[in-house]
Structure 1
Amino acid sequence: MKIHFTCQWKGGAYVSGGGAAVYIVIVGAGEVGSNIAESLAKSHEVAVVDIDPDRVEALMYEADVLGVEGDGAELDTLSEAGIEKADVLIASTDDDETNIVTCGTAITAADPFTISRVKSAKFLRTWEKSGAAFGVDHMVATNLLTAENIARVIGLPGSRDVETFVDGQVQMGEFEVRESSPIADQTVAEADRYESLTFAAVLRGDEVIIPRGETVIREGDDIIVIGSCESVRLFASEITPESKTTQNVVIVGGSDVGYHTARLLQDRGIKPRLIEQDHDRARELAEDLQGTTVLESDATDSEFLEREHVSDADAVVATLDSDEKNLLVTLLAKRLGAERTVAVVNSGEYVDLFEAVGVDVAVNPRETTAEEITRFTREYDATKVAIIESDRAEVLEIEIAADSVLAGRPIQESVQELPTGVVIGAISRDGELVIPRGDTVIEPGDHVVVFVDADCLEAVNDKL
């Protein structure tokens, strides 16, 4: 699974609107910076800066970008990258302080919109309290965002990906169809028995299928559904009948991600258990997390896991700093009988491997951070955007203007002017949820949640 993150803004993203290309300088050509560059270079002019010449050369070869070797925190290097004409600067190295200094340096020479990636939430808290502190216009805290997504997925049984829209009124969920699922081998018409739920897409291998009534749902498919929170939760409980409400959660690793995950679960009324081997860190966590039971032990010890009845856990989350240990812990937990396992995977190339050997959900912080920043620099005039499976599709929340192709017309008529890769998932009107049907008339001011195949995003944005 390629979990996504969302950001919210009004009136378009923080680049020039109307689909016009802008100039973007990215500092850091690692996994995060490379993913951002490859995505944005499709429609914008991009320059990438890194101290590693091999990384720069590789990215210049793989994507149509200007490559500059050097320290992005230095003004001369930024000038060589064209900072004076830049609309956006993205600081995405693996060092928090370097990213913040880079943004501060950039605004001494020009006036780009600055985005800084940081791992630690302490910088985010300072930035939030003081406006545009450090010369940063938007800050992305990787560890906190990762924890937020883990908590969201844990909260919906059987889900691989979850996001909410329209102030929590509408939910999108992604679910894998397993052999035991009651909808396996059913048509969409047979499976569609939920009043306020839309089957938005079927992901089958590399194919994105827009479902029709006669579309057969197969084992191994990933299903994207959009609807009311109640209907999505009901769908989740029926598609994975073996899953139950998640209350018994074990978090392995008192890392920053583990700490934030526990804190967020506490806020949702769940009392997790957190296992941390280091004595001082365990004591610190116990003092800070009053609603969490902190256990000081080595979670790779199978006998300890058995004594702590990990077999009864609804979910085991591995947030250690080692990918190898996270894999070991989740596989041990699965063998002992834990219902679901979630592992943080810092190396992007290991994500598919983790899920192939039995981990239910693998979360790569670098990839999700790249998706968050990429989404924030897109020009779509959307209130909220979610990226599905590494840019294979997007789910947009759009406030309908009077000149939209959807405004004042029945859906069955207006969609004739849209590409086939578009599904109207939900409509919110004056705070009330409207179920989209062929004869439903969408009105200006409505908030519409739309699934869009990546291949037709530009065409759809022009019309919506």
Structure 2
Amino acid sequence: MAAATRRYDRWYAVKVLIIGGGQVGESIASDLAADHNVTVIDQSSDRAEELAYAHDVLTVSGDGTDISTLEEAGIEDADMVIASTDDDETNIVVCSTASAIGDAFTIARIKQTKYLNTWEAPEADRAFGVDNMVCTNLLTAQSIVRIVGLPAAVDVDPFAGGRVQMAEFEISEQCPVVDQTVEEADRYDSLTFAALVRDDAVVIPDGETRIHAGDRVVVIGSHKSVHNFADALEPAHATGSDEEVVIFGGSEIGYHVARLLGKRGFTPRMIEQDPDRARELAEQLPQAQVMESDATDMEFLEREHIDEADVVIAALESDEKNLLVSLLARRLGADRTVATIDTPSYVDLFQTVGVDVAINPRIVVAEEITRLTQSDKAENVALIESDKAEVIEIEVDADSVLAGRPIRESVADLPAGVVIGAITRNKEFVTPRGDTMIQSGDHVVLFVDAAAIEETTAKL
């Protein structure tokens, strides 16, 4: 996905207009309300009133494609317009209208990649009058693909052009690092144990902090070190493109997962019930094996040896079916299950009953849109557990508190809850240690607890 051409400083209160007060719009409004002047348009007057009460934002009830509704919401003075309804065409029309009558930076949430392809085409400069398009299906597929091949990983994000990775791992009773201290578990030269998420709280560890079963460990390091750590957590399932991956459902998300995995050298198997869709997918995905069948047919699953799968991905059109096939796959003996879930409140439920990783497309796209509104100092941002912390990549300038000082000194001037996880200099990885000197021009990846984000950003 193309990057935004402009950003607004997170801490400068701009006027943000959000069209669509559903789950995505509400999540964005909640994240931005503290630091921006936010107005939300929703067709339902009851929903608009609910959002105003819950998040202390201005609301307007009406049709977001109606010019009078947009004018009532102050579109002419808006600095940023975020179209986040469930309809692609509506979002594009809203952004096009905003571009025609004002100077707002526009972000359109879309599902279908055909609009993204048109927008990204070199000959279609700023197509539709949209400054940035955020594609739900593609972002979700990318999130799934990043965790395939990393045993126990529940989230993975790249930084510094892929030279640095942040990964979050679920620690099970069987993991070799259970009950070890961080010092005992840290056997990797280019890996930083940035944080533990324990009982919904963020713990910044030191060498004596003990790792418990049920913890989620956030590590930042080189691509090789993160993968080596993943392999150590699940030594029986070393990472690699020879992993057996099965995708249930030839949805748009399932298609993109298979396509992206194929680019990485995987040969996934896809199960799609509709014969016409299965035939279409077989033509479009030569690197995948497409099978026409009902994903809940136990005889078929046993015959196709789903029990031998390293990863099963449920990308059907129904939450209930995704839960069912995930549980069937685990019962048959598949190692890991990843399921897409349309209802955010189901995420914890799915993981409680046995799904290893539950990914909600609405949460994924809301986090991406929120990321685009982050501080202009940040090159890249990843959210931890939606709102508990952030991992931020910055390019250090001469005025930064980090520049020209060893890490142990500069960190002392930052608030509690900040960990320097990685440094790249001239595109080379530099392992951060207490006496490492940070130079102007370095790219630094930091873990920042939510409570420390504002103060940290101001000093960087």
TM bin, normalised by shorter chain, reads over 0.9
Render the CA deviation track for 1:2-41: whole Å, top value 9, x for unaligned. Answer: xxxx98568xx622x3721000000000000000001100
d(CA) in 1 for partners of 2:398 and 2:4?
Answer: 20
Give the match's secondary structure for 1:383: strand
149-158 or 251-260, larger mean C-alpha shift: 149-158
Aligned partner of 1:54 in structure 2 is: 46
Which residue among 27, 31, 36 is the counterpart of 1:39?
31
Render the CA deviation track for 1:283-340: whole Å, top value 9, x for unaligned. Answer: 1001111111110000111111000000000111010000000000000000000011
Render the CA deviation track for 1:228-271: whole Å, top value 9, x for unaligned. Answer: 11111110011223433352110000100000000001000001
Deviation at 1:209, TM superposition (A): 0.6
Equivalence map 1:309-320=2 (5 Å): 309-320=305-316
- Residue 174 of structure 2 aligns to which amino acid in structure 1? S
Equivalence map 1:25-174=2 (5 Å): 25-129=17-121, 130-174=124-168
Runs of 5+ in structure 2 lacking a partner?
A: none
d(CA) in 2 for partners of 1:138 and 1:383?
Answer: 16
Contact map agreement 1:200 1:425 (CA 8 A) in 2: yes
Give the match's secondary structure for 1:346: coil
d(CA) in 2 for partners of 1:115 and 1:107?
Answer: 11
Contact map agreement 2:44 2:61 (CA 8 A) in 1: yes
Contact map agreement 2:152 2:171 (CA 8 A) in 1: no
Aligned partner of 1:197 in structure 2 is: 191
Contact map agreement 2:245 2:311 (CA 8 A) in 1: yes
Whether 1:382 and 2:388 are equivalent positions in the alignment is no
Which residue among 342, 348, 363 is the counterpart of 1:352?
348
State the percentage of identical aligned residues. 60
Whether 1:294 and 2:298 are equivalent positions in the alignment is no
Contact map agreement 2:3 2:132 (CA 8 A) in 1: no
- Residue 377 of structure 1 aligns to which amino acid in structure 2? T
Aligned partner of 1:184 in structure 2 is: 178
d(CA) in 2 for partners of 1:27 and 1:431?
Answer: 40
d(CA) in 1 for partners of 2:434 and 2:91?
Answer: 49
Whether 1:334 and 2:330 are equivalent positions in the alignment is yes
d(CA) in 2 for partners of 1:353 and 1:293?
Answer: 31
- Residue 50 of structure 1 aligns to which amino acid in structure 2? D
Render the CA deviation track for 1:404-427: whole Å, top value 9, x for unaligned. Answer: 001001111111110110000011
Give the match's secondary structure for 1:203: strand
Aligned partner of 2:7 in structure 1 is: 14
d(CA) in 2 for partners of 1:18 and 1:210?
Answer: 25
- Residue 78 of structure 2 aligns to which amino acid in structure 1? A
Deviation at 1:205, TM superposition (A): 1.3
Deviation at 1:158, TM superposition (A): 1.9
- Residue 425 of structure 1 aligns to which amino acid in structure 2? G
- Residue 23 of structure 1 aligns to which amino acid in structure 2? K
Aligned partner of 1:233 in structure 2 is: 227
- Residue 74 of structure 2 aligns to which amino acid in structure 1? G
Aligned partner of 2:280 in structure 1 is: 284
Runs of 5+ in structure 1 lacking a partner?
A: 1-5
RMSD (Å), alpha carbons: 1.3
- Residue 7 of structure 2 aligns to which amino acid in structure 1? Y
TM, length-normalised to structure 2: 0.97
Give the match's secondary structure for 2:176: coil
Contact map agreement 1:9 1:384 (CA 8 A) in 2: no
Give the match's secondary structure for 2:167: strand
Give the match's secondary structure for 1:157: coil
Q: Which structure ranks higher in relative contact order (CA pairs < 8 Å, sequence separation ≥ 6)?
A: 1
- Residue 281 of structure 1 aligns to which amino acid in structure 2? R
Give the match's secondary structure for 1:395: strand
Deviation at 1:432, TM superposition (A): 1.6
- Residue 104 of structure 1 aligns to which amino acid in structure 2? S
Aligned partner of 1:303 in structure 2 is: 299
Give the match's secondary structure for 1:341: strand
Deviation at 1:378, TM superposition (A): 1.8
Count of residue correspondences: 456
Give the match's secondary structure for 1:398: strand
Contact map agreement 1:124 1:139 (CA 8 A) in 2: yes
Contact map agreement 1:7 1:384 (CA 8 A) in 2: no
Render the CA deviation track for 1:130-184: whole Å, top value 9, x for unaligned. Answer: 1211111100010011001101111322211001111111111100111011111
Which residue among 383, 399, 410 is the counterpart of 1:403?
399
- Residue 72 of structure 1 aligns to which amino acid in structure 2? G
Contact map agreement 1:7 1:376 (CA 8 A) in 2: no
Give the match's secondary structure for 1:167: helix
Equivalence map 1:428-439=2 (5 Å): 428-439=424-435
- Residue 79 of structure 1 aligns to which amino acid in structure 2? E
d(CA) in 1 for partners of 2:289 and 2:378?
Answer: 41
d(CA) in 1 for partners of 2:2 and 2:309?
Answer: 32
